[in-house]
């Protein structure tokens, strides 16, 4: 299981089960998202999303639990990043500032 796969399933859920829309949000290809979803479901032995043919039509009961846990994991990762930024202020990303140039 990879963090990328967790990001992908969360993006799919947030995109109303539209893999194409999720892939655009993730700046990656639709086949890549579909493949990672399939690999994760195969690894877990659980279908996260219900299907009608190739279309995702819902979230399975097991999928709801997995999505909740994935969301929790991603929140914890963000907390770790925030903590790291607090402990290393010199490594914080600089805020983007805009300015105008007088002609």
Tens digit of each residue's pLDDT, the chain (103 residues): 999 999 999 999 999 999 999 999 999 999 999 999 999 999 999 999 999 998 999 999 999 999 999 999 999 999 998 888 888 877 766 555 555 555 5
Q: Tokens representing 39?
A: 């690999």
Cα–Cα distance measured from residue 14 to residue 17, given in angstroms and rounded to the nearest whole number: 7
Cα–Cα distance measured from residue 90 to residue 71, given in angstroms and rounded to the nearest whole number: 29
Which stretch of DSSP H or E encloses residue 52? strand 49-52
Q: What does pTM read for this prediction? A: 0.81
Q: The domain at 3-86 falls in which architecture?
A: Orthogonal Bundle (1.10)
What is the maximum alpha-carbon separation in the chain? Answer: 63
């Amino acid at each position: 299981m990879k963090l990328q796969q967790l990001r992908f399933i969360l993006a799919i859920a947030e995109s109303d089960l539209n893999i194409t829309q999720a892939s655009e949000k993730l700046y990656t290809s639709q086949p890549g998202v579909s493949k990672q979803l399939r690999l994760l479901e195969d690894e877990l032995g659980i279908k996260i999303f219900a299907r009608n043919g190739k279309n995702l039509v819902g979230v399975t009961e097991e999928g709801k639990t997995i999505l909740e846990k994935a969301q929790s994991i991603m929140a914890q990762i963000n907390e770790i990043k925030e903590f790291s930024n607090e402990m290393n202020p010199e490594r914080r990303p600089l805020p983007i500032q805009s300015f105008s140039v007088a002609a």
